[in-house]
Amino acid sequence: MARARLSDVAAHAGVSTATVSMVLNGVNTTRISPQTQQRVREAAEAVGYKPNSVARSLRTQQTRMVGLISDTIASTPFAGRMLAGANDVAREQGHLVILVDTERDAGAERQALHALSGQQVDAMIYACMWHRVVEVPEGLPEDAVLLDCAPAAGGRAAVVPDERAGGMAAVRELVAAGHRRIAFLDAEERFDLVASRLRYEGYLRILADAGIEPDPALHARAEPVASGGREAARRLLDLPSERRPTAMFCFNDRMAMGAYAAAHHCGLSIPRDLSIVGYDDQQLIAAELDPPLTTIALPHYEMGRWAMEVALGLRRADPAVPHLMPCPIIRRASVGPPPVQFGD
Amino acid sequence: MARARLSDVAAHAGVSTATVSMVLNGVNTTRISPQTQQRVREAAEAVGYKPNSVARSLRTQQTRMVGLISDTIASTPFAGRMLAGANDVAREQGHLVILVDTERDAGAERQALHALSGQQVDAMIYACMWHRVVEVPEGLPEDAVLLDCAPAAGGRAAVVPDERAGGMAAVRELVAAGHRRIAFLDAEERFDLVASRLRYEGYLRILADAGIEPDPALHARAEPVASGGREAARRLLDLPSERRPTAMFCFNDRMAMGAYAAAHHCGLSIPRDLSIVGYDDQQLIAAELDPPLTTIALPHYEMGRWAMEVALGLRRADPAVPHLMPCPIIRRASVGPPPVQFGD
DNA sequence: ATGAAAGCGCTAACAC
DNA sequence: GTGTTAGCGCTTTCAT
């Protein structure tokens, strides 16, 4: 049996399609008699009417769909939270999201833009799976919003994590616990991570506020993975005891995981002998380390929501400067006071 | 300036819309003179014509969109790989995917189904974020395909990981290395995981094949997280040496991570003193443990592809029984021969 | 080899 | 209060 159309409902109720359309959409509803409305509703129910959004979209020129172009859904476990945030507000607003993954390929990007604009999406979001500065693809609509990336040229609504404040929060936590020799296990420069620069700024800023002279030896760089963290931490732990850090702020949770390993290797206990703060609040990891890791959360869900809210016009954004989303500290059990030492 | 329509191209080229439609779609192209075709193409280019898929969909009754309903995108880092697989084949076929996240809520599920069917999607996929047996939501089209879940009532195209074979591969690896006392660090029964039952079957099967009598004491259960793995492993390692396992197959990589911790705690080195195999090949983790973890990969990407392929009719599926996707073993460095002991 | 015209299913301006 | 009607932009049959 073919799907029931508006005209079928109209026939069944003995009214015109216009009337049916109005009552079913609750439009101009005051001017239609209650009996008729009732009859229409019953008829719709009876024939099992479901509106055809394609036809409606063609007529109204709006599809209630938003396109979400992302560079790579697959490569990071964080992606999901961003999608979830975006999806939730879309649903709250009765919108659907079309997801396109371009895998960072310019051709695919062009094609995606084409497909989405052909699909007449009402709004568009361009998302990166980690904080980047991007050359906005040609053809991206003026009012598209950037998610987890900032436009190289500026002039676009965008949201990124407030990495600097996150770095500050991490180091502030350590300073508050009484630490003075605080290392930063950073990503190597060749990775060219904007997060790295910003978190480092936050680190320096809090040291300065606390009147602590930064020790260049405590700014260790490595590949931002567990093994890198392990090696960097090992080097730091090999320092003569008066220069050895009592706390480490790690660029990410994976490096922190490596730092845990190095500490254990040296027979150090966390947080008794060494305090550690990570970054990312990586799912299924940070909370499961032993002891559970104190870390700074990346606000992926919130950024996803924010982007969708401005995309749908629920919120205004200043296109001059990316919106900075706070990165909350997640306190667990890897921070304690520094160990008591001679000379303290 | 308003978007150019087909009629604009027609006017510009001095032909009818029918002609334009045909040449632009490459249909009946033999019956149109090359000059006209050329003229049409130039006109389209000149006015910047882009087809309106909504209008086309209304006319052709197919949208080239497929709906993907999932229970929760956010809660697992594995989701992305499934989406990526599905997305890739969709794109190869010129389709777009509409993503709806229902968060396991029946109301949201109904609403999603409604929205997608209203949107006239050409196909539908119902995905779970971990292997489950599900009650298929009412109203899910007959030809929807299930991804990472099996229908309680059967009779639907579905794809799930071949957990049993995965368990077999894991244990076979250990047996091949010479182990005889192989523990299984399993999830507790209260979690009611189908993967747990199946992997255990695989474990028993290989033990039997190898003529090893299963020792019930070596089937340890705990919460399937790092701390659970740590405790279970600790218990096992406390066994008298002649009953203590020389190898552990862990329900997942998180438990394996806990087992690593327990081993280190006992001064055991992996794989010299203890071999470990995990499950999941969890991104950003399995490869970063020290030593890198040998594990069984969950074929999320491949399942995503498979589901989309049958959804789009590129492949036939037997609705009588879920398709079992192989879980390949990923060999890294956590398996070695058992330690030499007196009596061996 | 090309054009005219009829819809796809819906909404909304206007008429009565 | 309710109906008529003209499209939204496209594809496709049927004429010519």
Q: Which nucleotides of C are covered by protein (CB under 7 A)?
A: 1-5, 7-13
The pLDDT mean for chain A works out to: 94
Could you tell me which of A274, A245, A334, A262 has the C-alpha nearest to residue B264?
A: A262
Using the beta-carbon criterion (under 8 Å), do B257 and A288 form an inter-chain contact?
A: yes
Most B-contacting residue of A73, A75, A303 (CB-CB within 10 A), to test interface: A73
Separation of B21 CA and D12 C1' (Å):
10
pTM of the predicted model as reported, rounded to 2 decimal places: 0.94
d(CA A120, CA A146): 19
Reduced to 3 states (helix: H, G, I; strand: E, B; else coil), residue B176 is: helix
Q: Determine the residue of chain B that is closest to A91 in CA distance.
A: B100
- Six token digits for residue B232: 């279970």
Report residue B343's pLDDT band, with 50, 70 and 90 as the boundaries. very low
Report residue B29's pLDDT band, with 50, 70 and 90 as the boundaries. confident
d(CA B7, CA B18): 9
Q: State the pLDDT at residue B106.
A: 87
Q: State the pLDDT at residue A342.
A: 52
Cα separation values, A5 from A52, A336, B6, Å? 8, 68, 27
Residues B37 and B101 grouped into a single domain? no
Residues B207 and B335 grouped into a single domain? yes
Question: pLDDT tens, A91-143?
Answer: 999 999 999 988 878 898 999 999 999 999 999 999 998 999 999 999 999 99
* Candidates A63, A101, A264; nearest CB to B84: A101
Residue B108: φ, ψ to 5° = -65, -35
Using the beta-carbon criterion (under 8 Å), do B101 and A83 form an inter-chain contact?
A: yes
Q: Does B91 touch chain A (CB under 8 A)?
A: yes
Q: State the pLDDT at residue B68.
A: 96
Residue found under tokens 């990891």? A285
Determine the average pLDDT of the residues in A142-152: 96
CB A76 within 8 A of CB A130: yes
Q: Does A73 touch chain B (CB under 8 A)?
A: yes
Determine the average pLDDT of the residues in B229-245: 96
Q: State the pLDDT at residue A80.
A: 87
Residues B289 and B169 grouped into a single domain? yes
Residues from chain B contacting residue A116 (CB–CB below 8 Å): 96
Q: Is residue A107 part of a domain?
A: yes
Report residue B342's pLDDT band, with 50, 70 and 90 as the boundaries. low
Determine the average pLDDT of the residues in A273-281: 97
Q: Is the predicted pLDDT of residue A215 greater than 60, yes or no?
A: yes
Q: Is residue B56 part of a domain?
A: no
Q: Cβ of residue A18 near strand D, that is under 7 Å?
A: yes
Task: Please name the residue whose C-alpha is nearest to the C1' of nucleotide D5.
Answer: A18
Torsion over CA of B324, B330, B334 and B337, rounded to 10 degrees? 80
d(CA A190, CA A222): 10
Residues A211 and A311 grouped into a single domain? no
Question: pLDDT tens, B136-175?
Answer: 999 999 999 999 999 999 999 999 999 999 999 999 999 9
Residues A21 and A71 grouped into a single domain? no
Number of compact structural domains in chain A: 3
Using the beta-carbon criterion (under 8 Å), do A101 and B118 form an inter-chain contact?
A: no
Residues A194 and A304 grouped into a single domain? no
CB A303 within 8 A of CB A161: yes
Residues B169 and B259 grouped into a single domain? yes
Q: Is residue B147 part of a domain?
A: yes
Separation of A23 CA and D5 C1' (Å):
19
Q: B242: domain CATH number?
A: 3.40.50.2300
d(CA A116, CA A144): 12
d(CA A137, CA A141): 10
CB B166 within 8 A of CB B327: yes
Q: Does A84 touch chain B (CB under 8 A)?
A: yes
Q: Is residue B60 part of a domain?
A: no
Residues B168 and B233 grouped into a single domain? yes
Determine the average pLDDT of the residues in A279-299: 95
Q: Is the predicted pLDDT of residue A296 greater than 50, yes or no?
A: yes
Using the beta-carbon criterion (under 8 Å), do B84 and A76 form an inter-chain contact?
A: no
CB B236 within 8 A of CB B244: yes
Long-range contact list for B36-39, CB < 8 A, 24+ apart?
Answer: B39/B13, B39/B14, B39/B15
Q: A28: domain CATH number?
A: 1.10.260.40
Q: Does A96 touch chain B (CB under 8 A)?
A: yes
Q: State the pLDDT at residue A105.
A: 86
A322 prior amide bond cis, ω within 30: no
Task: Please name the residue whose C-alpha is nearest to the C1' of nucleotide D2.
Answer: A19
d(CA A100, CA A73): 9
Residues A204 and A321 grouped into a single domain? no
Q: Cβ of residue B316 near strand D, that is under 7 Å?
A: no
Q: Is residue A60 part of a domain?
A: no
Separation of B45 CA and C10 C1' (Å):
31
Separation of B59 CA and C7 C1' (Å):
8
Q: State the pLDDT at residue A59.
A: 96
Using the beta-carbon criterion (under 8 Å), do A77 and B115 form an inter-chain contact?
A: no
Q: Is the predicted pLDDT of residue A343 greater than 70, yes or no?
A: no
Could you tell me which of A173, A158, A155 has the C-alpha nearest to residue A328?
A: A173
Q: Is residue B313 part of a domain?
A: yes
Determine the average pLDDT of the residues in A58-64: 95
Angle, CA A265 vertex, CA A264 and CA A270 arms, to 5°: 20
Residues B207 and B276 grouped into a single domain? yes
Residues from chain A contacting residue B254 (CB–CB below 8 Å): 284, 288
Amino acid at A162: D
Q: State the pLDDT at residue A344.
A: 47
Question: pLDDT tens, B192-225?
Answer: 999 999 999 999 999 999 999 999 999 999 999 9
Q: Is residue A257 part of a domain?
A: yes
Residues from chain A contacting residue B257 (CB–CB below 8 Å): 288
Q: Does B211 touch chain A (CB under 8 A)?
A: no
Select the more confidently predicted residue: B102 or A179: A179
Residues A135 and A269 grouped into a single domain? no
Q: Which domain holds residue B21?
A: 6-51
Task: Please name the residue whose C-alpha is nearest to the C1' of nucleotide C9.
Answer: A55
Q: Is residue B155 part of a domain?
A: yes
Q: Does A254 touch chain B (CB under 8 A)?
A: yes
Separation of A32 CA and D12 C1' (Å):
39
Report residue B91's pLDDT band, with 50, 70 and 90 as the boundaries. very high
Residues A134 and A18 grouped into a single domain? no
